[in-house]
Amino acid sequence: MTIGVFDSGVGGLTVLHALHDELPQVGTAYLGDTARVPYGTRSADTVIKYALNAAQFLSENETLSVLVVACNTASAVAVEELSKTLSVPVVGVIEPTAKHAVKLSNNQKIGVIGTSGTIQSQAYETAIHKLSPDAQTFAKACPLFVPLAEEGWTSPDDPLVCQIVERYLGDLVKEDIDTLILGCTHYPLLASAISKVLPPRIRLADAAQAVAREVAAHSSEEFENEESSRPLRRYYVTDVPKGFVRVAERFLGAAIEKPIEVDL
């Protein structure tokens, strides 16, 4: 059995990274729709169509036990449709992360950072308010964080990185939040710099870890008999842009096996 992970590009590799940490013995197959990235600027109908393409591809080519939608945009609009179509559970990034943040927070003042598209969608706020109607949420789009992560400019010892983080998060800190959702799969790469800049009372709710724990919890019985000294690690992409492997390895935190280029 294989965990399928689907993202619009490389960002979902941080979720895969967390899954490998949480369930090292289980096989995984990753599909990055790198030819059509980013999804954030597309209509909901288009994103649903792309997500269905991706889910169909993974279902046909792998023996899936669960499909993880490791893309904020697709999670916001396509999880319901995918659940109707697939025979295996579908896990998006938004609900597990919102649940994790609500649990972490003592004062229910929760910050959310993400791309402009995610922040405009208010998907995290909606999910938080379903779980904790009195929670206060404070959201901030951080458009420089994705290119920072892709450039590899992420060190907490880099004054430039810390200045950019400070500029974005200064206002959130003033709002007395005690929990901050990293609402973009690129942001775990900046977690150390973000932690350094924020006061220690603020805890980070990392989507990658939240999703990995959700999958592990749902699947522990199914996976407990799995034993493999060399579990499957398959990587599919719809395009191999220059520098892909270098960026991908930074996100995955490990060497990546040669990606297989496919047409969806």
Task: Supply the residues annotated as catalytic.
Answer: 71, 184
Q: State in angstroms the smallest separation of the CB of 160 from a second copy.
A: 5
H or E element that contains 24: none
Output the CA–CA distances (angstroms, integers) from residue 160 to 56, 171, 188, 191, in the order listed.
43, 19, 18, 15
Minimum distance of a second copy from residue 71's CB (angstroms):
15
Q: Can you give the binding site for a second copy, defined by CB under 8 A?
A: 34-38, 41-43, 116, 120, 143-144, 146-148, 150-151, 159-160, 163-164, 167, 239, 241-243
Beta carbons of 13 and 7 less than 8 angstroms apart: yes
Rank residues 46 and 228 by Cβ distance to a second copy and give the closer one: 46
- C-alpha closest to that of 92 among 165, 12, 174, 175: 12
- Return the structure tokens found at 97: 């992360």
Nearer to a second copy, 200 or 243 (CB): 243
Nearer to a second copy, 131 or 160 (CB): 160
Give the closest residue to 77 by CA, choosing from 104, 49, 116.
49
Residue 121: CB atoms within 10 A of its CB come to 21
* Minimum CB distance to a second copy, residue 34 (Å): 8
